[in-house]
Amino acid sequence: MKPFYRLAMVACLCLLMGVTVWGQDAPLGFAEGDPVIEPNFGDDIKTLNPIIVADGPSQDVINRLFPVLIQYNPFTLAWNPGEPRGLAESWTISDDGRVYTFQLSDEYYWNDGTPVTTADIMWFWNATINEDTNSNNQLLIDQVESMVAVDDYTLEVTFKVASCTALDTLNPVTAVPAHAFEEWFGSDLAGMEDSEFNLDMPVTGLDFTFDNFRPGEQVTLRAYENYPDPVEGSVIPAGYIYKTVTDQVVQMEQFYAGELTWLESVPQSSMEEVRTRSDAGEFQIFEAPANTIRFLSFNLADPENPQDAVDEDGNPLDQGVHPILGDKRVRQALALAMNYDEINEGAFFGNGIPVASHVLPTSWAYPEDLAPYPFDPDAAGALLDEAGWTDEDGDGIRECNGCETTEDGTPLSFKVETNAGNVSQEALYTILQDQWSQIGVDAQVSFLDFNILVDSLLAQNYDAIGLFWNFSIPANPDDATDVFTPSADVIGSGFNTGSYNNPRVTELLEEARLLPGCDQAERAAIYGEMYEILADELPWLWLSTSTVMSAAQGNLENWDPQAGFARWNIDAWTSQSR
C-alpha cells in the first residue's frame, strides 16, 4: 500500500506549495487613485432609482449618484444653500411661510453633458405623486401642495400649511435625468419598478458614475472627472466600491488587512482594539454619538382589545388600560430599577450613552436640565408599593393589592419581546430582566424573529417591545408626531403602537411646528417641555444610544467624517503612499 501514502504525501505537498504561491498577492491597502472600498454588511441593493428606493444599501449608493434639491452642512447639520450635492444656491420664503422659491445652480451637468435643471426635479416630483410608481415619499406627498418650475433654474414649492419643518420635508427631493427617465420610463410609470434601468443607470450627476453591480458581491462606481463641485478641485479616488461582506468578524479582518478603505461603524466588540491600533498610527478613528436609540415601548392600552385612537369620524375610542403598564408609577419604577452602568458594561462594552427622553443629547432641542432616571431600587420599590403592587405571599414577585389597573392577586408579570440575533440586544434584556426581578417584577423576555415582532407591534397586542429608533438627520424633533400622537395610533400602520395620548404633547408638537418665524430657541423651549412630559410619563423606556466609531486606514488623507455626514468629502479622499 506504499503508493497510496506516496500519493497522499505528494498531494499534500502540492497543496502547500500552491497555497504559498497564492499567498504572494499584495494587500489592497489604499494608494493614490485607488477606489474607496466600503463594506456592505446588509443585503444587495434593490434599485438605483431615487423615486422608488426603499432600502438602506440602495440609498447609500444613490447618494453618490444623484444631486438633491437641498443639502445640509456637514458641520452644523443645518440646511444650507450652496452645499455640495445640493442644487439650491439660495431660497426665499413667502410672507405666509407656505411658498419656498429655490434658485438652482447652473453648474451641474449629467454625465452625458445635459445640464441639470428644474425639469429634473419636476420629473422626480411628478413621478412621486403618481400612484403608479408606489413611491415611499409619503411625507412629501402629504405636505407639499404643488411644485412648479418657474424657469430652468427657479423652482417654486408650495406647502399645504406653513411649517417650520418644511425643509426637512424636502429632504428626499432628488434630481433625476428627465431626458433619460422620460425615454426609459416615461410612457409607463406603472412599469417603472420592473425596468432593467433601475439597476443600470448610465446617466448620473454627482462625483461618481455607475459602472456595474455584481449581485451578492459589489456595486462599482467610477470617478466622474467632469463633476463641477469636487471638494478638492477634482475627484481623486478612481472609484467607489460597495463590497458585500456578510460577517462582522471577517469585515474587521479585511479592514485590518487593508482590503477595506474605511468602516462607517466599527462593531462595539472591536472598538477597543481599533482604538489601540489607531494610537499606534495604524488607523484613524472618529467617534461620535450614534443617531439611533434603543427603546422599550410600553403598551398603555388593553392588549386584549386593541383599538385605533379615533374612529373614522375622529371620535376617540375606548382603548382600555394595560393591567400593569397602564399605571405611570409602574413604568417609573421600572426606569428607576434600571442600573445603566451594569448594562453598559455587560451589553455595550462601556460604549453606551444613557438617554432620558425621545431626544439625543446632541440635538439642538435637547433641554439642558433633562436627565435620565437615577438607579434607585429603593425608590422603585416604594413607587410600586404606592401603586398597590406588593409581595404579600413572599414568592419574590409582587401582586396587585389595591392597584388601580387590574384585579387583586394579579402578579406583576408581563412579556418583553425583542429581536433575536443581536448579541448586545439580547444581553441588554437579559440584564434588565435580572435587575427588575430584584424589585419583584417578573419580566418574561423572549427574543423573536423580526417579522413576528413587527406583527405583534403593529397589532398592538403586546405588553412591551424592545426595538431601535433612528432619528432623522438633521435633527427634526417633529418626528415625535409619528410616535406619540393619536393620529399615529392606527392598528396595522401607525407607530404610536403603545397608544400614548397626552393632549398637551400633541399641542406642543403642533405649536413648535407652526411657530411663526420658526425661531429655533423658541422651538427648543417648546420641545423641551414636551420631552420633560414624555420623560415623566414614560410611554417608552429610552434605554441607550451608543458611541459610533468610524475607522479608516492610517494613510488615508482628507478623511474627515462628521457625525451625520461621514462621506461629505469622499471625492477628496486620497493617499500618497500605500
Partner 1 sequence: MTQYVIRRLIQAIPTFFGITIISYALMLGTPGGPIKAMFFGQRIPPEEIERRELALGVNDPLPIQYLRWLVGDDWMRRDTDGDGIADTAFLIPLDVNGDGEPEPPGDRYGILRGDFGRSFFHKRPAIDVLVERLPATLELGFSGLIVGLVLGLPIGVLAAINQGRWFDQVSRVGAVVVNALPNFWLALLLLLLFGSTLGWLPLGNRCRTTLDDTCPPITERLEYLILPTVVLAAGAVATYSRYMRASMLDVVNQDFIRTAYSKGLSSRVVWLRHGLRNAMLPIATLLGPSITFLLGGAVITETVFSWPGVGRLAVNAVGQRDFPVVMIVVIYAAMATILGYLLSDLMYAILDPRIRYEK
Residue choice 150, 250, 371, 423 for contact with partner 1 (CB under 8 A) = 250
Under the criterion CB under 8 A, does residue 314 sit at the interface with partner 1? no
Dihedral angle at the C-alpha atoms of 349, 355, 358, 359, nearest 10 degrees? -90
Give first-to-last CA distance, the chain, whole Å.
53
Residues contacting 483, CB < 8 A, separation 6+: 358, 469, 495, 496
Restricting to residues 372-401, name those near partner 1 by CB under 8 A. Answer: none
Among 18-26, 111-119, 330-338, 503-511, the segment contacting partner 1 (CB under 8 A): 18-26
Among 50-58, 144-152, 227-235, 423-431, the segment contacting partner 1 (CB under 8 A): 50-58
Cβ atoms of residues 313 and 452 within 8 Å: no
Q: Which grid cell sits at 426?
A: 439580547
Residue choice 95, 113, 187, 194 for contact with partner 1 (CB under 8 A) = 194
* Least Å from the CB of residue 484 to partner 1: 14
Cβ atoms of residues 544 and 344 within 8 Å: yes
- Strand ranges, E, within 217-304: 218-223, 239-244, 262-263, 283-289, 292-298
| Burial environment of residue 51 by CB neighbours within 10 A (0 to 12, 13 to 18, 19 or more) | buried
* Least Å from the CB of residue 314 to partner 1: 15
What gap in Å lies between CA 43 and CA 67, rounded to an integer?
Answer: 24
Question: Which CB, 244 or 501, lies closer to partner 1?
Answer: 244
Among 84-92, 233-241, 381-389, 395-403, the segment contacting partner 1 (CB under 8 A): 233-241
Q: Which grid cell sits at 505?
A: 404633547
Residues contacting 200, CB < 8 A, separation 6+: 48, 210, 213
* Least Å from the CB of residue 253 to partner 1: 5
What gap in Å lies between CA 363 and CA 113, rounded to an integer?
Answer: 41
Name the helix (H) or strand (E) containing 383: helix 377-386
Residue choice 51, 104, 166, 199 for contact with partner 1 (CB under 8 A) = 199
Among 160-168, 263-271, 273-281, 445-453, the segment contacting partner 1 (CB under 8 A): 445-453
Under the criterion CB under 8 A, does residue 129 sit at the interface with partner 1? no
Name the helix (H) or strand (E) containing 418: strand 413-419
Under the criterion CB under 8 A, does residue 419 sit at the interface with partner 1? no
The C-alpha cell 382603548 sits at: 319
Cβ atoms of residues 92 and 487 within 8 Å: no
Among 47-55, 158-166, 514-522, 558-566, the segment contacting partner 1 (CB under 8 A): 47-55
What character string, x for contact with partner 1 (CB under 8 A) and - otherwise, covers 486-505?
Answer: ----x-xx-x----------
Residue choice 22, 113, 187, 369 for contact with partner 1 (CB under 8 A) = 22
Q: Which grid cell sits at 240?
A: 467607489
Smallest CA-to-CA distance from 383 within 436, 332, 322, 433 is with 332
What gap in Å lies between CA 557 and CA 262, rounded to an integer?
Answer: 12
Under the criterion CB under 8 A, does residue 218 sit at the interface with partner 1? yes
What gap in Å lies between CA 66 and CA 176, rounded to an integer?
Answer: 7
Question: Which CB, 149 or 473, lies closer to partner 1?
Answer: 473
Among 88-96, 107-115, 452-460, 560-568, the segment contacting partner 1 (CB under 8 A): 452-460
Under the criterion CB under 8 A, does residue 187 sit at the interface with partner 1? no
Site size toward partner 1 (CB under 8 A) is 67
Residue choice 169, 244, 406, 569 for contact with partner 1 (CB under 8 A) = 244
Under the criterion CB under 8 A, does residue 136 sit at the interface with partner 1? yes
Tell how strand 262-263 and strand 540-553 pair up. antiparallel
What does the binding site for partner 1 look like in residue numbers (CB under 8 A)? 1, 4, 8, 18-20, 22-23, 25, 27-28, 35, 37, 43-44, 46-47, 52, 54-55, 131, 134, 136, 138-139, 142, 193-194, 198-199, 211-212, 214-218, 220, 222, 238-239, 241, 243-247, 249-250, 253-254, 256-257, 259, 449-452, 454-455, 458, 470, 482, 490, 492-493, 495
